[in-house]
């Protein structure tokens, strides 16, 4: 996953640390919203550790995604 993060990130990556079979990065970016959505692209393979507002935004996006899939599909309705 860390190779993908380096290749796809438009943020500045630093302080790569290996832990728990994965990697920990510090990212510097202009937008918490952008970073939250970027992390969501990794699904359960990524976790926002801090700042708290990033962690909260990722949780909100994950909850919204879950709610979408809890509803039955209504194909053809407008």
CB atoms within 10 A of CB 23: 15
E strands in the chain: 12-19, 22-28
Q: Note the pLDDT tens digit of each residue in 22-77.
A: 778 888 888 899 999 999 999 998 899 999 999 999 999 999 999 998 988 888 87
- Report whether pLDDT(13) > 70: no
- CA–centroid distance for 22 within its chain: 15
Number of residues that make up the chain: 78
- What are the backbone dihedrals phi and psi of residue 28, each rounded to the nearest 5 degrees, phi first? -115, 120
CB atoms within 10 A of CB 43: 9
């Amino acid at each position: 996953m860390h190779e993908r993060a380096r290749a796809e990130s438009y943020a500045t990556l630093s302080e790569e640390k290996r832990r728990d079979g994965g990697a920990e990065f510090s990212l510097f970016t202009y937008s918490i919203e952008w970073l939250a959505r970027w992390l969501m692209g990794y699904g359960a393979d990524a976790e926002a550790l801090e700042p708290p507002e990033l962690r909260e935004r990722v949780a909100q996006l994950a909850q919204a995604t879950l709610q979408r899939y809890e509803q039955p599909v209504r194909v053809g309705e407008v």
